[in-house]
């Protein structure tokens, strides 16, 4: 795998439901690794059995991340190649991984990502909500004050918002979101991605709450950006800058004028008069 004396840390993505989503490269790396560091060794054993791979495993989870990192660094320094996996999806994404990566960088140990499934990426690309700019929050904090701060941030942010949530907490989280989200804001609840009961529920927060009563399984929430915030920002621009903003998005003059009038809450004829003889601003 690696000709250096030191071993390499492989960050190996595993399926988020459908076992066929394991990549050929992930199988190869798991087969060739000297050791597999797994979030839950019993869980990973099922995957390894399915792939007919037998390997020594060591647990590496949230509660022993720091301590185990030291041990794994030692093994890597002795020349072992280690594959790090989490229970599902990409390690380090709302899962253990960050600590060992930082330690490897400090110790100059090679790290190689082995890409694959990730729940939020697949929820986002299927949501129909803008994929251009987004903010991944993972799980909302449970601490009351931190949670309130995050919810307020989500209320105002002009980027697509992505949240993870556990099934038994989804009701509570949706209720909290209802308190801060504007009724026009689109929400998509992506459930059981890649599994038999895969489902995408689309609507505003009220509709999502109505439809998600008693839903089970793993869920990701994708929330549309707060357009109002963007509109406010745009209104602080000069009218020419505002025009240019939409022009750079490739919009036609007529469409730009309509949008400027809407953002500034004025009649479109007023804006039209300003640009009547101008092809380019
Ligand atoms: N590392 C994982 C990844 O790459 O997506 C995420 C791990 S995090 C501990 C688990 C959360 O991911 C779940 O609570 C849920 O929000 C989301 N998730 C994982 N698998 C999913 C699936 N098949 N469908 C929808 N959401 C999923």
The Å distance, Cα 89 to ligand 1 centre, comes to 7
Please tell us whether the domain made up of 8-117 is placed in CATH 3.40.50.970: no
Q: Pairing mode, if any, of strands 8-12 and 82-85?
A: parallel
- Positive or negative torsion for Cα 120, 126, 132, 134: negative
- pLDDT, position 213: 86
Residue from 94, 217, 221 whose mutation best tests the ligand 1 pocket (most atoms within 8 A of CB): 94
For 122, residues 6+ apart whose C-beta sits below 8 A from its C-beta are 16, 190, 193, 194
Extract the tokens encoding 120: 């939020």
pTM metric for this prediction: 0.84
Contacts of 180 (CB under 8 A, 6+ apart): 151, 152, 154, 155
Give the pLDDT score at 228: 79
The answer to whether residue 99 scores a pLDDT higher than 60 is yes
**Residue 84 pLDDT > 60:** yes
Q: What is the number of the ligand 1 atom nearest to the C-alpha of 13?
A: 4
Helices (H), 39-142: 41-50, 65-77, 98-106, 119-127
Most confidently predicted of 40-54, 203-217, 231-245? 40-54
Residue with the bigger pLDDT between 279 and 19: it is: 19
Confidence (pLDDT) at 203: 96
Among 44, 164, 198, which residue has the most ligand 1 atoms within 8 Å of its CB, making it the best to mutate? 164
pLDDT in tens, 169-182: 999 999 999 999 98
Residue 62 CA to ligand 1 center (angstroms) comes to: 16
- Cβ neighbours, 10 Å, residue 4: 11
Q: Is the separation of the CB atoms in 203 and 187 below 8 Å?
A: yes
Assign 135 a pLDDT band (cuts: 50, 70, 90): very high
Cα–ligand 1 centroid distance for 32 (angstroms): 27
What's residue 183's pLDDT?
A: 86
If you take atom 20 of ligand 1, which residue's CA is the nearest one?
A: 16
Residue 13 has pLDDT above 80, yes or no: yes
75 by Cβ neighbours in 10 Å (0-12 / 13-18 / 19+) ranks as middle
Which of 220, 221, 222, 223 has most ligand 1 atoms within 8 Å of its beta carbon, as the pocket-test mutant?
220
Distance CA 154, CA 14 (A): 30
- Mean pLDDT, rounded, for 105-124: 98
Tell me, what's the pLDDT at 249? 82
Could you tell me the two tokens for 15?
Answer: 């399926």
Q: Rounded distance, CA 148 to CA 273, Å?
A: 45
Task: Tell me the pLDDT of the chain averaged across its residues.
Answer: 93
How far is CA 144 from each of CA 102, 149, 151, 182, rounded to the nearest angstrom? 30, 9, 10, 21
> Is it the case that residue 1 has pLDDT exceeding 70?
no
Q: Does the pLDDT at position 273 exceed 90?
A: no
Average pLDDT score over residue span 202-227? 94
Per-residue model confidence (pLDDT) at position 264: 87
pLDDT of 276: 78
Q: Is the pLDDT of residue 235 over 90?
A: no
- Rounded to an integer, the average pLDDT of 82-94 is 98
Residue 34 predicted with pLDDT over 60: yes
Phi–psi pair at 253, nearest 5 degrees: -50, -45
- Is the pLDDT score of 4 beyond 60? no
Binning pLDDT at 50, 70 and 90, where does residue 259 land?
confident
How far is the centre of ligand 1, averaged over its atoms, from the C-alpha of 124 (Å)?
A: 12
For residue 198, which atom of ligand 1 is closest to its CA? Answer: 24
pLDDT for 160 equals 98
Q: Which residues contact 218 (CB under 8 A, 6 or more apart)?
A: 16, 17, 119, 167, 191, 192, 193
- What residues does ligand 1 touch, defined as CB less than 6 Å away? 16-17, 86, 88-90, 93-95, 118-120, 164-166, 190-195, 218-220
What atom in ligand 1 is closest to the CA of residue 163?
Answer: 16
Q: Where are the domains of the chain?
A: 8-117, 120-226, 237-275
Please report the pLDDT score of residue 279 as a whole number: 57
Nearest atom within ligand 1 for CA of residue 119: 5
Task: Quote the pLDDT of residue 277.
Answer: 67
Q: For atom 2 of ligand 1, which residue has the closest CA?
A: 89
Give CATH superfamily name and number for 120-226: Tetrapyrrole methylase, C-terminal domain (3.30.950.10)
Using an 8 Å Cβ cutoff, are 99 and 71 in contact? no
């Amino acid at each position: 795998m690696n000709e250096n004396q030191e071993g390499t840390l492989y960050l190996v993505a595993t399926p988020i439901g459908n076992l066929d989503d394991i990549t050929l490269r992930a199988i190869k790396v798991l087969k060739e690794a000297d050791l597999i560091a797994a979030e839950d060794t019993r869980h990973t054993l099922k995957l390894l059995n399915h792939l007919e791979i037998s390997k020594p495993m060591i647990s590496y989870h949230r509660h022993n991340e720091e301590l185990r990192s030291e041990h794994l660094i030692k093994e890597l320094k002795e020349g072992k190649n280690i594959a790090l996996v989490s229970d599902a999806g990409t390690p380090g994404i709302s899962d253990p991984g960050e600590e060992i990566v930082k330690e490897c960088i400090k110790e100059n140990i090679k790290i190689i990502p082995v890409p694959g499934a990730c729940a939020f990426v697949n929820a986002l690309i299927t949501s129909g909500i803008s994929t251009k700019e987004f903010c991944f929050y993972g799980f909302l904090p449970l601490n009351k004050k931190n949670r309130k701060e995050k919810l307020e941030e989500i209320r105002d942010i002009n980027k697509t918002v992505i949240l993870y949530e556990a099934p038994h907490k989804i009701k509570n989280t949706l209720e909290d979101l209802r308190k801060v989200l504007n009724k026009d804001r689109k929400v998509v609840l992506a459930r059981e991605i890649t599994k038999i009961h895969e489902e995408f529920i689309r609507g505003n927060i009220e509709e999502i709450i109505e439809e998600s009563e008693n839903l089970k399984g793993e869920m990701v929430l994708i929330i549309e950006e707060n357009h109002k915030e963007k509109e406010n920002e745009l209104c602080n621009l000069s009218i020419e800058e505002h025009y240019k903003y939409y022009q750079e998005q490739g919009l036609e003059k007529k469409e730009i004028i309509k949008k400027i009038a809407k953002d500034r809450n004025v009649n479109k004829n007023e804006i039209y008069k300003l640009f009547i003889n101008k092809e380019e601003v």
